[in-house]
Structure 1
Amino acid sequence: MSGGLWMPAGARTDTLPTIPRQRTPGWAEPDPLDELAARLDDFIAAAVHPDEIAALLESDGLTDDRIRERYGVKNSFALAEELYDRVPRRYPEPRDPAPDPWRTSLLACLVRGVVFALPGFGYVLGAPLLAGPQGDFGLPAGTVPLLAAALFGWTWNQGLSHRAHTWLGLGDKPAARRTLLLGAPAGALLGALVALACAGTATLAAVAFAAGQSCYLAAATALLVMARERALLAALAPMTAGALLALVHPIPDAARIALLTASLTVVTLLGLREVAPLKGRGAVFDLRLPPRGRDKPRRTRSRSTAAGLPLSASLPYALFGLGSGVLVVYAALGDVLAGAEPSAVAAPSAVALTLSMGPAEWLLYRFRSGSLAGLRSAGTPRAFRRTTARELAVCLAAYLTALLALATATAALWPHAPTVDGVRLAGLLLLGVVIWTGLLLQSFGAVAGAALICVLAALAQTLALLTRNGGPHTVGVAVYGAAAVAQSALVCVLLGRATTHR
């Protein structure tokens, strides 16, 4: 003992007792906060509030005890604020390109355009069935019930396809199939009744041909809605081959009827197979009784599905189909309505418009894709409007170029086609503007305005022709021009708003 302090033998006198204290990182040991900030650098730099970082830390399983022990702060929120202050704000671009749901195959759209046009060969085969004395409007008697059934079919099936596509968008494929299974046969039956009511002096063969057209439109609608274009293309092959042969060599009427019946039967069976409730591959319909009581499977449906789809929601789409269909018919029959022979029907116009639906569909997707890119890149509403207007002008010009090329080609190849002059060409291109902008509005769900414009244009052209107020082509240019201006203005007003594209 010395100086009042007792020291054990062998103890050093130059050491102090150890006091527990928090370790501070030295130059040889990295700061754990720096390590964590470096590991979460991208996320922290893009965070707009420290609470986002705190949520990430908690999701990684960092408890407040571990945070206090390792980082020397009291909880996850304090650690998040520390990390938020250490890392400067920046918003790095994603490594992978942003998803674009509007990218689609040009080939698939062209196939759909060909599928839309191939039924026109059916009229080549069925021409003898439609022959006869002139009926109303200077057309062969069999043409009137055919056009009436076609217009009804375009109207009905446009509304039907909207309903089925809506169910598909809600994720309820069985409901879409039920809609087509009930609506397609009803449309075919009503179309046949319309043809019968408008028969007039037409022969029974012409009415039967119109009824077959109604059945085809119904079955083809089901196949197109269910994305079975290739099956429909294959089913139309016999009829197409027969029509091409009939253009260069006469074939008997019995062979014509057989080819038409074969393609119609195949298309109808394919449509029925696509929408019928299947149980396995062998049965078409399940005839067993549905389960009852506790054995009945429970189904969960969304609120939108449970509430059902009102019929009024599909009415604008049906009216758009009616209005645009009437305008196309007037464009095709302009020469006959002007007093020309029925053999000079301007079918190339209708064929060109039908074939152009393939490029039109692809350009609709192209516009949606370009507007989505503009929505991501534009910094101000004004810049977005400029981007949208430029994309709209490019897509519309591309469509009109394709329509012009198709119109020139079909007029050159079509037998006895009328001369394509400036008035006819202007009318066709203006009608193309009406159709394409109408489809564009329809793709955004703004079909009510397009339907109103097309229906009013069809009524105006009908009244002008009934009152003999100008020639058909001159009236067509005026009506199509006014409709094109009105619809283009509607497109610019609606699609210039960024909220429309969200």
Structure 2
Amino acid sequence: MSGSLWMPPGAHPDTLPAVPRQRTAPSWARPDPLDELAERLSDFIAAAVHPDEIAALLESDGLSDDQIRERYGVKDSFALAEELYERVERRHPEPDGPTHDPWRTGLLGCLLRGVVFALPGLGYVLGAPFLTGPRDDFDLPAGTVPLLAGALVGWTWNQGLAHRAYSWLGSGDRGAARRSLLLGAPAGALLGTLLSLAVAGTTHPSALAFTAGQSIYLAAATVLLVLGRERSLLAALSPMTAGAVLTLVHPLPDAARLVLLLGSLAVVVLLGLREVAPPKGRGAVFDLRLPPRGRDKPQGTSSRQTTMGPHPLGSLPYAVFGLATGTLVLHTALGAAPAAVALTLSMGPAEWLLYRFRSATLAGLRSSGTPRAFRRTTARTVAECLAVYLAALLALTLTTGITGVHLAGLLLLGVVLWTGLLLQSFGAVLGTTTICCVAALAQTVALVTHTGGPHWTGLIVHATAAVAQTALVCALLGRVTAHR
């Protein structure tokens, strides 16, 4: 019938025709989930130098290995990262405007820190009359053992304290850093003084007083250096420095020496106290406790970081590193005292070269297209920075007249110290601490047991440690993920 809807025989007039079922597209027509993921992350994948960077991104997005196996058919995030790395062509787009380099720093500021590290040595020139007396049981000058004990305790404690304070500063909580310094610095000074008294024996009281002053200075100077007050510390040491230089020309009375020493020490202590003192003003309270959860949280930090802070045991390897390297330096200084001065002054160029290394590797991340190319860039940068540092150390050492085996051992120790600081700056502190501890223990045992000549023993120990740490640097810092 014209105008009527045709229905199959037996169908009821009110029944609608069945809707046909949608057919499933064949597998060859469905989009590949891996291609979709590669397209979505193409910008990041294209700029990645190593698949591990992509794996880190996948894990940060919350993709578990079970989800990866179900969605993409590969066993884990690393296998997926390698697959994505192969599918996307490498490209490194240049950023708009100048590239930000957080590691760029001035040479003058680093050289100033090196000078500040070395100037306290002039205090021993002024304090020489207070360290007189018969040689001790180890055939060392009077007061040497308490001084060495106090110095080692100071280097150990203050290295760990500085790391803890820097950890607070890195999390954005300057108040917590000051609290840790306010509590930790006096504790370190007291500990150093007590240990010096414990090993004093028949040391003259004037030498013990000088040793106590040394411990107090190390604690106060750590506060100023951590909080970036190198210029204030330099100004505080100026009277003592002038007195020591004048003493080399014309001997000063003991009273004048004492006034210069105590005056500089008092100024350094007062400056340190001013940096960590409670805030002034009505109602101002300097709470030594950690801030309660969720209050006064610095921007960019988590509640757990603000409440708990860095774990104290996290600073222990850095403290042990200070003890080990301090022991190595003392062994060298006992063989040739000017060597310690050269090493201390070289810490200025060493610090600047650490920044240069970080800056160069950041540029290498942008310019290298493959992991192998980045490893070559890193190895070349390490060699260049180490060569510049050794040239600076050599120039400083030659002014002291050190030659021969002493010079070779000092340069090798310089390699140990610089590579150790480099590894420490990347958080690889356990490896370098282990190597330095073994080297310090070996040299101490050789000295106590009179095994071999002390000069040749130091040369062998330093050479072995230098080779081990250089290999560790190449193994760890050649990886792209260490620099992200």
When normalised by structure 2's length, the TM-score is 0.78
Q: Which residue of 2 aligns with 1:371?
A: 361
Cα distance in structure 1, aligned partners of 2:40 and 2:318:
46
Task: Indicate if the aligned counterparts of 2:343 and 2:393 stay in contact, CA closer than 8 A.
Answer: yes
Is the Cα contact below 8 Å between 1:352 and 1:406 reproduced in 2? yes
Select 2:423's aligned residue among 436, 441, 444. Answer: 441
CA contact (8 A) 1:133 1:141 kept: yes
> How far 1:431 sits from its partner (Å)?
0.3
- 1:66 aligned partner: none
Contact 1:136 1:144 in 2 (8 A): no
The amino acid of 2:227's aligned partner reads M
* Aligned length, in residue pairs: 393
Contact 1:100/1:369 (<8 A) preserved: yes
For residue 133 of structure 1, report the CA deviation from its aligned partner.
0.6
Q: Please tell me the residue identity of whatever aligns with 1:181.
A: L
Return the alpha-carbon distance in structure 1 between the equivalents of residues 159 and 280 of structure 2.
29
Q: Say if 1:100 and 1:143 are closer, same or farther in 2 by CA, change over 3 A.
A: same
Look up the match of 1:467. 449
What per-residue deviation string (whole Å, max 9, x for no partner) do you get for residues 90-144 of structure 1?
9752341210100001000000000000000000001111111111332112111
CA contact (8 A) 2:443 2:457 kept: yes
Rounded to whole Å, the distance in 1 between the matches of 2:206 and 2:212 is: 10
Instruction: Give me the whole-angstrom Cα distance separating, in 1, the residues matched to 2:454 and 2:41.
Output: 70
Q: CA deviation at 1:276?
A: 1.2
Call closer, same or farther: CA 1:50–1:111 in 2, change over 3 Å: closer
Structure 1: which amino acid aligns with 2:131? L
Please show how residues 14-33 of structure 1 align to structure 2 within 5 Å: none
Q: Secondary structure at the match of 2:450?
A: coil
Pairing 1:18-167 to 2, within 5 Å after superposition = 92-167=93-168
Is 1:428 matched with 2:428?
Answer: no
Distance between the aligned counterparts of 1:286 and 1:258, measured in 2?
A: 36
Q: How do 1:346-425 and structure 2 match up within 5 A?
A: 346-411=336-401, 420-425=402-407
Look up the equivalent residue of 1:359 and give its one-letter code: P
**CA separation in 2, counterparts of 1:188 and 1:437?**
29
Evaluate the alpha carbon distance shift between residue 309 and residue 50 of structure 1 in structure 2; reply closer, same or farther with a 3 A threshold: closer
Distance 1:467 1:380, change over 3 A: same
1:42 counterpart residue number:
none
Would you say the 8 A contact 1:129–1:142 is kept in 2? no
SS of residue matched to 2:252: coil
Q: Distance in 1 between matches of 2:42 and 2:326?
A: 57
Runs of 4+ in structure 1 over 3 Å off? 47-52, 89-92, 285-290
Q: Offset at 1:289? A: 10
Q: In the TM superposition, what whole-angstrom CA distance separates every residue of 1:393-443 from its partner, at most 9, and x where no partner exists? A: 0000000000000001133xxxxxxxx332111100000000000000110
Q: Is the Cα–Cα contact under 8 Å of residues 102 and 365 in structure 1 kept in the other structure?
A: yes
Q: Which runs of 5+ in 2 are unaligned?
A: 1-37, 44-89, 289-293
CA shift in 2, pair 1:421/1:498, >3 Å: same
Q: Describe the shift of the 1:261–1:92 C-alpha distance in structure 2 as closer, same or farther (beyond 3 A).
A: same
Q: 1:304 Cα deviation (Å)?
A: 1.7
Other-structure match for 1:71: none
- For residues 203 and 122 of structure 2, what CA distance do their matches in structure 1 show? 21
Question: Measured at CA, do residues 122 and 382 of structure 1 come closer, stay the same or move farther in structure 2, by a change above 3 Å?
Answer: same
Worse-superposed segment, 128-137 or 164-173: 128-137
CA distance in 2, matches of 1:130, 1:145: 11
Deviations 1:186-232 (A, max 9, x none): 10111111111111121111011010000000000000000000000
Match of 2:323 in 1: 322
Change (3 A) 1:289 1:465: closer
Q: Which runs of 5+ in 1 are unaligned?
A: 1-46, 53-88, 291-296, 335-345, 412-419
Match 1:450 to one of 413, 422, 432: 432
Contact 1:141 1:201 in 2 (8 A): no
Per-residue deviation, residues 228-280 of structure 1 (Å, max 9, x unmatched): 00000000000000000111111111111110000000000000000112225
Shift of 1:327: 0.4
Please give the secondary structure, in 2, of the residue aligned with 1:254: helix
In 1, Cα distance between equivalents of 2:444 and 2:126:
30
Aligned residue for 1:212? 213
CA–CA separation in structure 1 for the residues paired with 2:203 and 2:446: 27
Measure, in 2, the Cα distance between the counterparts of 1:424 and 1:90.
51
Deviations 1:151-205 (A, max 9, x none): 0000000000000000000000000000000000110111111111111121111
CA radius of gyration, larger in: 1
Q: 1:288 to 1:375 in 2, by over 3 A?
A: closer
Aligned counterpart, 1:180:
181
**Equivalent residue for 1:488?**
470
Pick closer, same or farther for the CA change 1:485–1:92 going to 2, 3 Å: closer
Cα distance in 2 for partners of 1:149, 1:448 equals 25
How far 1:51 sits from its partner (Å)?
12
Cα RMSD over matched residues? 2.3
Aligned partners of 1:430 and 1:481 also within 8 Å: yes
How far, CA to CA, are the matches of 1:288 and 1:442 in structure 2?
32
Instruction: Call closer, same or farther: CA 1:50–1:143 in 2, change over 3 Å.
Output: closer
d(CA) in 2 for partners of 1:105, 1:288: 35
Aligned to 1:29: none
**Partner letter of residue 352 of structure 1?**
A
Higher relative contact order (CA 8 A, sep 6+): 2
Identity of aligned residues (%): 70
